[in-house]
């Protein structure tokens, strides 16, 4: 059976696993963005606090994904929970770092002007600082998306959802029929998904960047 | 990931942030964390009273041999990656080859989305299992990011400095070796660091295709449902990654050519 026949035969399963993969990545990204932004908003005004936050995130980031999954299994068992936690932890570093950098690079004169107009701290944050830092923050999210797309494949090893299942069943059937097809289908679909996501981020960037700073 | 001007913050995962925390914290923090993790793991393993199955894998001699296998995989693949990526990166950033730059960057972009486990398994099912296959998989996985790093490092050099070099009568080769490469050293070293950490992580996965290494403890732990083996394997891999990252960070600090500010 060649790859094309394999894909045709398993169309529904592959669609489902692709959907699972994409949906897991999207949900983890949303979660990581929310957490990352909160951490950044809390810490960006203090050099020490933001250094500590990025420091912790970069330690988590340095831990290899396989080891991180291994550390999460005893606490959370197998399945979706450890997968989601691992992906969110991975996605945090680029988001936190870019948010901190983006927000602390906002021209202080602009913040002053906004304060002078009578805006409250919160309004300055939402109307001035976050919109100006948004392109940099979005880049962080985009980098995270690419990263966890590949890490999500390992989730199948801890019985998590997604396309990693194709890869690991290819490994399990090593030497047997369809081993190559299965591993190839999983890998190629993940690469395609990553490209689609990257394209979406370009679009999201166009649509959500404040008009004043759009290039 | 394309490197547009406003996106450069994210282009180098480890370099930008880690230079910031204060020097003493950097020197002490990571080793302290590693020691704490190892001690905590030791206490945890003792409290679980490992049975005979677990004990065979928790012997010091076994763990040491796995650690050595892991290092061997990483070092062999790392040497090849750097031997390929740095000269190729220099070559591709020469004048005549400029056209290739966007192609390589686009390829690196696609490669980034490729799952490491997919490459390893694919090679194993297409070829065979074992050490050599794992090394090849590691090289394939790490060569593109390192290549991109070298090229970005050379690209971001102020062109006026190169012109000044030519202006004082340096040959093109002299400009490359005396101006461009020294100025690109920080970025290249940051790339070496990222590559090594990446390789340690991927080497952990290559135990799944019978190439040995510390990942074997993780998969054994999962298969036998011995959490003490699983956790010890994970802690060792994590500590190894943190340690190598720390060492490479030190190298980044002290090998930086004088005259380039941090």
ipTM of the complex: 0.83
Whether residue A70 and residue B119 make contact (CB cut-off 8 A), yes or no, is no
Q: Is the pLDDT of residue B169 over 80?
A: yes
Confidence of residue B17 (pLDDT cuts 50, 70, 90): very low
Of the two residues B148 and A18, the one the predictor is more confident about is A18
Q: What is the 3-state secondary structure (H, E, C) of A79-98?
A: CHHHHHHHHHHHHHHHHHHH
> Are A94 and A147 spatial neighbours (Cβ–Cβ below 8 Å)?
yes
Categorize the per-residue pLDDT at B140 as very low, low, confident or very high, splitting at 50, 70 and 90: confident
Q: How far is B164 from chain A (nearest CA, A)?
A: 32
C-beta atoms of A70 and B208 within 8 A: no
Per-residue pLDDT of A113-150, as tens digits, reads 998 999 988 898 888 889 899 989 999 999 899 889 98
Give Rg (Cα) of chain B.
21
* 3-class SS of residue B4: coil
Given 3-state DSSP classes, what are the helix, strand and coil percentages for chain B, each rounded to the nearest 5? 80, 0, 20
CB B225 within 8 A of CB B24: no
* Residues near A186 by beta carbon (within 8 Å), at least 6 away in sequence: A17, A153, A163, A164, A165, A166, A167, A170, B115, B118
Q: Any CB–CB contact under 8 A between A1 and chain B?
A: no
Q: Where are the domains of chain B?
A: 24-255
Worst-scoring range by mean pLDDT, A24-28, B77-81, B185-189?
A: B185-189
Q: Which of B115, B193, B243 to mutate to test the interface with A (most CBs of A within 10 A)?
A: B115
Asked if A62 and B1 come within 8 Å (Cβ–Cβ), the reply is no
What's the gap in Å between the CA of A118 and the closest CA on chain B? 30
In this structure, are residues A43 and A49 in contact, taking their beta carbons and an 8 Å threshold? yes
Please check the confidence at residue B259 and state whether its pLDDT lies above 80. Answer: no
pLDDT at B262: 52
Judge: A70–B13 Cβ closer than 8 Å, yes or no: no
In chain B, the percentage of residues whose pLDDT exceeds 90 is 8
> Which of chain B's residues have a Cβ under 8 Å away from the Cβ of A190?
113-115, 118
Tokens of A190: 């993940």
What is the structure's pLDDT at B261?
59
Question: Token pair 């949906």 is at which residue?
Answer: A23
Q: What is the pLDDT of residue B23?
A: 61
Q: Residue A47's Cα: distance from chain center in Å?
A: 25
Nearest residue in B to A175, CA atom: B125
The alpha carbon of residue A9 is apart from the nearest alpha carbon of chain B, in Å, by 20
Does B48 reach chain A within 8 Å, measured CB to CB? no
* C-alpha span between B167 and B204 (Å, rounded): 50
Residue of A nearest to B208 (CA): A171
Say if the Cβ atoms of B129 and A94 lie within 8 Å. Answer: no
Residue closest to B6 by CA, chosen among A98, A128, A88: A98
CATH code that applies to domain B24-255 = 1.10.3720.10
Q: Could you tell me which of B57, B36, B252 has the C-alpha nearest to residue B153? A: B252
Confidence of residue B14 (pLDDT cuts 50, 70, 90): very low
The reply to whether B31 touches chain A by the CB within 8 Å rule is no
Lookup: tokens for B30: 């990571």
User: Would an 8 Å CB–CB cutoff place B234 in contact with chain A?
Assistant: yes
**pLDDT confidence band for B16 (50 / 70 / 90):** very low
B220: chain A residues, CB-CB within 8 Å: none
Contact flag B114-A187 (C-beta cutoff 8 Å) = yes
pLDDT confidence of residue B22:
55
Per-residue burial over A149-186, b if 16 or more Cβ lie within 10 Å, else e, is bbbbbbbbbbbbbbbbbbbbbbbebbeeebbbbbbbbb
Does the pLDDT of residue B227 top 80, yes or no? yes
Q: Taking CB atoms and an 8 Å cutoff, what residues of chain B touch A183?
A: 118, 121-122, 125
Closest-CA residue of chain B to A199: B1
What is the Cα–Cα distance from A179 to B258, expressed in whole angstroms? 53
Q: Which residue of chain A has the CA closest to B245? A: A62
Q: H-helix or E-strand containing B164?
A: helix B159-167
- Cβ atoms within 10 Å of B206's Cβ, excluding its own: 32
Cβ–Cβ contact B237 with A under 8 A: yes
3-state secondary structure string, chain A? Answer: CCHHHHHHHCHHHHHHHHHHHHHHHHHHHHHHHHHHHHHHHHHCCCHHHHHHHHHHHHHHHHCCHHHHHHHHHHHHCCCHHHHHHHHHHHHHHHHHHHHHHHHHCCCHHHHHHHHHCCCCHHHHHHHHHHHHHHHHHHHHHHHHHHHHHHHHHHHHHHCCCCCHHHHHHHHHCCCCCCHHHHHHHHHHHHHHHHHHHHHHHHHHHHHHCCHHHCC
Any idea which residue has 């394997």 for tokens? B233
Spell out, as residue ranges, where chain A has pLDDT lower than 70: 1, 215
Q: How far is the C-alpha of B196 from the C-alpha of B74, rounded, in Å? A: 7
A82 CB within 8 Å of a chain B CB = no
**Chain A contacts of B245, Cβ < 8 Å?**
62
């Amino acid at each position: 059976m060649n790859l094309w026949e394999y894909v045709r035969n398993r169309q529904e399963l592959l669609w489902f696993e692709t959907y699972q993969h994409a949906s897991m990545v999207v949900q983890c990204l949303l979660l990581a963005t929310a957490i990352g932004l909160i951490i950044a908003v809390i810490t960006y005004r203090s050099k020490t606090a933001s250094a500590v936050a990025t420091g912790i995130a970069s330690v988590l980031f340095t831990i290899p994904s396989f080891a991180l999954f291994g550390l999460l299994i005893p606490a959370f068992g197998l399945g979706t929970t450890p997968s989601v936690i691992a992906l969110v932890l991975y996605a945090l570093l680029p988001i936190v770092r870019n948010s901190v950098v983006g927000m602390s690079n906002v021209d202080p004169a602009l913040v002053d002007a906004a304060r002078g107009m009578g805006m409250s701290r919160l309004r300055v944050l939402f109307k001035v600082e976050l919109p100006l830092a948004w392109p940099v923050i979005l880049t962080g999210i985009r980098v995270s998306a690419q990263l966890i797309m590949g890490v999500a494949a390992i989730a199948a090893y801890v019985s998590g959802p997604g396309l990693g299942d194709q890869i690991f069943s290819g490994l399990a059937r090593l030497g047997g029929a369809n081993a190559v097809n299965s591993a190839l289908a999983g890998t190629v679909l993940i690469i395609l998904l990553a490209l689609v996501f990257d394209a979406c981020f370009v679009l999201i960037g166009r649509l959500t960047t404040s008009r004043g700073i759009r290039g | 990931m394309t490197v547009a001007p406003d996106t450069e913050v994210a282009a180098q995962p480890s370099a930008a942030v880690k230079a910031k925390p204060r020097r003493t914290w950097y020197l002490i923090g990571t080793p302290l964390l590693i020691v704490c993790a190892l001690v905590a793991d030791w206490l945890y393993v003792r409290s679980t009273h490992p049975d005979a199955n677990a004990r065979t894998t928790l012997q010091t001699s076994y763990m040491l041999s796995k650690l050595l296998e892991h290092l061997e995989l990483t070092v062999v693949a790392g040497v090849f990656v750097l031997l390929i990526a740095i000269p190729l990166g220099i070559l591709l950033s020469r004048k005549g080859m400029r056209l290739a730059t966007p192609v390589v960057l686009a390829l690196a972009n696609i490669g980034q989305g490729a799952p490491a486990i997919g490459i390893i398994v694919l090679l194993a099912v297409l070829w065979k299992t074992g050490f050599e296959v794992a090394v090849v998989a590691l090289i394939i996985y790490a060569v593109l990011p390192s290549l991109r790093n070298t090229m970005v490092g050379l690209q971001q050099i102020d062109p006026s400095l190169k012109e000044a070099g030519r202006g004082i009568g340096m040959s093109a080769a002299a400009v490359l070796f005396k101006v461009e490469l020294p100025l690109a050293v920080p970025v290249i070293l940051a790339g070496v660091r990222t590559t090594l950490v990446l390789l340690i992580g991927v080497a952990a996965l290559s135990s799944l295709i019978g190439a040995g290494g510390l990942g074997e403890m993780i998969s054994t732990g999962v298969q036998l449902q011995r959490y003490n083996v699983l956790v010890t394997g994970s802690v060792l891999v994590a500590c190894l990654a943190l340690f190598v990252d720390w060492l490479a960070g030190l190298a980044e600090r002290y090998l930086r050519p004088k005259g380039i500010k941090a």
